[in-house]
Amino acid sequence: MTGSNSATVTPERILQMAWGFSAPLILEAAIKNRVFDVLDEGPKSLAETVQTTGASERGLAAIMNALVGFNFLAKDVDGKYSLTAESAAFLVSTKPSFQGGLLRHTSVQLIPNWLELSEVVKTGKPAEAVNQQGTGTEFFEILVPDIFPLSYPGAQDLAAHFAWAGHEGTASVLDLGAGSGVWGIAQAQSAPNVTVTAVDWPGVIDVTRAIVGKFGLTDRFTFVTGDLQDADFGSGHAAATVGHILHSEGEERSKKLLKRIFDALASGGTLAIQEFLVNAERTGPVNGLIFAVNMLVNTEVGGTYSFEEIAAWLSEAGFTDVRLLEARGPSPLILATKL
């Protein structure tokens, strides 16, 4: 007989996951219809929200009530909706802390390839290889401006760690797979002696240049066009940043890239890596495990890796003192030094 204290197994989690696709789509619809932006002005009734956004009453009622259920909105006894602390901090598009950029791409860029997951699992081949220049340029041209806020706090933490103002002479930073330019921008903002070499594909580097221009830092940047496996990195850099790149490159290409970076750094130079790390047993964290499936769907050989795996690659490339730096983001930064 089963003991009276044994936990009862229910299908509740499975049923919740059956509708798991709904949450990001509801958030996307709310962002695109300016729900959070409008409520940032103050609590509003459904009718007032309809009038301000121009969206339908039926549509807003459905998603706003769902957002109350998700605790992204609150609803008082008079039926007025307001932001919660979480949505006020991260879902208002006009705030620097806005984290909803990725959600804007859920329905058009992210979900379509995931719909082919069963076939991808069967064949081991991606729905579309977005990490290749021919197929990936348009994808990243659209995506990278909206994911700038995801990395900016961690990039600022890295700049604080480097304390570039105390660096003797000019500090040259190599920003690889620059995308939005977020890692180089944060370094350049932190001290006037920092210069940045940003490297990315044609098309994407144009986006980098435009965002750097908005920050008024163009004269501190050099923009290099090319693939990370063969572009000219230059030499003598004080530091290099590789923000969310290794997961799409896969093991062999990552090892080659790390050796190229080692050769491009000055003696004493530091490499900083941001990744969605998983533990050595690949049992967590869950976000890293999910992102590994994202790489299965979208790349030929990509995945997520543990600190131990990446540390071994860095040592093989010639780096020493491989360590972790706590920083805001999905995982700590990995740092390594060229002696």
- Strand segments, DSSP code E, in 177-217 are 194-200
Q: Domains, the chain, ranges and CATH? A: 12-100 (1.10.10.10), 126-337 (3.40.50.150)
**pLDDT band at 1; cut points 50, 70, 90:** very low
Q: What percent of the chain has pLDDT over 90?
A: 91
Residue 43: both structure tokens together: 């609590």
Q: Is the pLDDT of residue 149 over 80?
A: yes
Q: What is the pLDDT, as a whole number, of residue 156? A: 98
Q: Is the pLDDT of residue 116 over 60?
A: yes
Please tell me what DSSP assigns to residue 163: T
Q: What is the pLDDT, as a whole number, of residue 6? A: 61
Mode of pairing for the β-strands spanning 333-337 and 320-325: antiparallel
Q: Is the pLDDT of residue 323 over 50?
A: yes
Backbone φ and ψ of 303, nearest 5°? -175, -170
CA–centroid distance for 239 within its chain? 21
The CB density around residue 57, as the number of other CB atoms within 10 Å, is: 12
Angle among Cα 96, 102, 108 to the nearest 5 degrees reads 140
Q: Are 264 and 240 in contact (CB under 8 A)?
A: yes
Q: What is the DSSP string of 70-126?
A: TTSEEE-TTS-EEE-HHHHHHS-TTSTT---TGGGGIIIIIHHHHTTHHHHHHH---
Q: What is the pLDDT, as a whole number, of residue 44? A: 98
Q: What is the pLDDT, as a whole number, of residue 141? A: 87
Q: What is the pLDDT, as a whole number, of residue 139? A: 83
Q: What is the pLDDT, as a whole number, of residue 132? A: 75
Length of the chain: 339
Q: What is the DSSP string of 212-268?
A: HHHTT-GGGEEEEES-TTTS---S-EEEEEEES-HHHHHHHHHHHHHHHHHHHEEEE
Q: Is the pLDDT of residue 5 over 60?
A: no
- The predicted-structure confidence for 24-64, as pLDDT tens digits, reads as follows 999 999 999 999 999 999 999 999 999 999 999 999 999 99
The rounded mean pLDDT for the chain is 95
The CB density around residue 89, as the number of other CB atoms within 10 Å, is: 13
Rounded to 10 degrees, the C-alpha dihedral 324/327/328/332 comes to 0
- The predicted-structure confidence for 192-202, as pLDDT tens digits, reads as follows 999 999 999 99
Distances (CA, A) of 228 to 111, 131, 232: 27, 11, 9
